[in-house]
Chains A and B, each alone.
Chain A
Amino acid sequence: MQRHIDQELAELKSQILRMGTLVESQIEGSIKALVDRDVDLASRIIERDTLVNSLDVDIDENCMRLLALQAPAAGDLRFVTTAMKISTELERMSDLAENICERVIELNEEPQLKPYIDIPRMANWTMQMVRESLDAFVRSDSAQARKVCTDDDFVDNLTHQLFRELLSFMIENPGTITRAIRLTFIGKYLERIADHATNVSELVVYMVEGKIVRHTTPPVLSDNEA
């Protein structure tokens, strides 16, 4: 039986997708601005963050309306509450992309410290995590969501690697400290974006299976039975 609420739930899903796509492009754009040393691009990305914020507010209002008027139950209820939380995670990801752009603008006041290899690698991996977690949401695929959670380790390792390298730069040559610290921050932001992608995946697992796996360690996540 086709219900009126199905239409609204589909609309909510595509809203999340639109926001997700926008956030992905924010992240991608911020790294491009870093690599290309493009200050204009960085400024545009910072401005576009307001668009992401208004999408977040919209999604929140839609979810509240659905809860109040339709009183969804079971799977529908989990979907709506998950959607609310995912939009929050996406909004934080976009804030972090904005932060990256702020650091990019600051970095452009000085010459490039070193060729950027690790950071773009981290960024690609992170963006893949974001893409896959949103994909898992759209397709209600909890297996894929669980996989994304385990990908987080790779990003964490890359972050530590980046920090050690930049630390040796800073020790060798104190004049590089401001640039190195800014780059460290960018690495930290990317690691946090990956964490938010992990959060989205954990939320997807809850939505599909009804099991709360947030704040648990990976061995639990890879189990089939909790």
Chain B
Amino acid sequence: MMTTQVQTTPAMKAEAKELSFYYGGTGQALKSISLGLADRHATALIGPSGCGKTTFLRCLNRMHDLYPGNRYAGSVVLYPDGINIVDHTIDPIEIRMRVGMVFQKPNPFPTSIYENVAYGMRIRGSMTRSDLASVVEQSLKDAALWPEVKDRLHSLAYNLSGGQQQRLCIARALATGPEMLLFDEPTSALDPTATARIEELVTELKQRVTIVIVTHNMQQAARVSDYTAFMYEGELVECDRTHKIFTNPANKLTEEYITGRFG
């Protein structure tokens, strides 16, 4: 008598509904993507270079608005309130306060460690100095960096190693209390030890924050994520539980990419 694992479908944090995106100069980059991002789980986006995974990621916090000529079509609904992230009447600043981002190459501000983490809350203008200090401390602890920097909070961020700088960037993103955290190939510039620490961190963080991670490294996607979405040439090919994608994907193209037959 076989016992089947009962898999409950978790609630969605955000859902892209036929999202298309057009770059100002080069035309359509995303073609009608419909993808759900599970709440407090990690979803990985994989695919060959140029497939649109980073483009999709940057739609989620309206980063494309910074450059002229870009245009969104379709919607990305953010729950629980149901607003459309890519609606041009919604202020991107409001979105970015709820959706944080960690970039590929660590990019701390060239100021002190404390200043880096405090900046996001400081510009909102509503915190007292002691509140700010405790937010900084908590964020650095959540990013597993506190023990290493607690005695030199006011020294320059640039003196940290690459892995530490990336964790600092994670702390900076966490400080604003985001509901969703976007990682754009966060470990591609780091050595294996630093990479492993970041992956550990993501595995812990995903219990509290919805995580979307773009990665070139399929083993990383396999280790870290609960759901994996495979994209190709601007389209979503397949999205499913990570273990299913890596043992028995439904789509032949997915299988070919995962086994390294192209890309």
* Residues of chain A having any CB pair with chain B under 8 Å: 1, 3, 5, 71-78, 210, 215-216
Contacts and interface: CB of A to CB of B under 8 A. Distances in A.
Nearest to A206: B248
Q: Which of A73, A75, A210 has the most CB of B within 10 A?
A: A73
A74 B249 contact: yes
B196 to A, nearest CB: 16
B259 A1 contact: no
B198 to A, nearest CB: 20
Contacts of A1: 260-262
A71 B246 CA distance: 11
Q: For the complex, would chain A's binding face be called helix, strand, loop or mixed by DSSP majority?
A: loop
B130 interface: no
* The 9 A-B residue pairs with the shortest CB-CB distance in the complex, in nearest-first order: A210-B248, A73-B258, A74-B255, A74-B258, A76-B259, A73-B246, A1-B261, A74-B249, A74-B259
Contacts of A3: 260-261
Interface of B: 2, 218-219, 222, 245-249, 254-255, 258-262
Contacts of B259: 72-76
A203 to B, nearest CB: 14
B262 A77 contact: no
B140 to A, nearest CB: 34
Contacts of B255: 74-75
Report whether over half of chain B's contact residues are helix, strand or loop; otherwise say mixed: helix
Most chain A beta carbons < 10 A, residue from B247, B249, B254, B262: B247
Nearest to B260: A3
Nearest to A76: B259
Contacts of B261: 1, 3
22 contacts: A1-B261, A1-B262, A3-B261, A5-B260, A71-B219, A72-B259, A73-B222, A73-B247, A73-B258, A74-B245, A74-B247, A74-B249, A74-B254, A74-B258, A74-B259, A75-B255, A75-B259, A77-B247, A78-B247, A78-B248, A210-B247, A215-B2
Given A1-B261, A73-B259, A75-B255, A216 B247 contact: no
A74 B250 CA distance: 10
A75 B260 CA distance: 11
A42 B263 CA distance: 55
A72 B246 CA distance: 9
Contact of A216 (B2, B219, B222, B248): B2
B247 to A, nearest CB: 6
A2 to B, nearest CB: 9
Nearest to B246: A73
A5 B260 CA distance: 10
Contacts of A74: 245-249, 254-255, 258-259
Contacts of A77: 246-247
A100 B254 CA distance: 47
A182 to B, nearest CB: 36
A73 B218 contact: yes
Contacts of B249: 74
Contacts of A75: 248, 255, 259
A140 B259 CA distance: 17
* Highest count of chain B CB atoms <10 Å: which of A74, A77, A210: A74
A76 B261 CA distance: 11
A5 B258 CA distance: 13
B70 to A, nearest CB: 34
B150 to A, nearest CB: 38
B72 to A, nearest CB: 33
Nearest to A77: B247
A88 B247 CA distance: 22
- Residue from B2, B218, B262 whose CB has the most chain A CB atoms within 10 Å: B2
Contacts of B258: 73-74
A1 B219 CA distance: 20
A73 to B, nearest CB: 5
Nearest to A5: B260
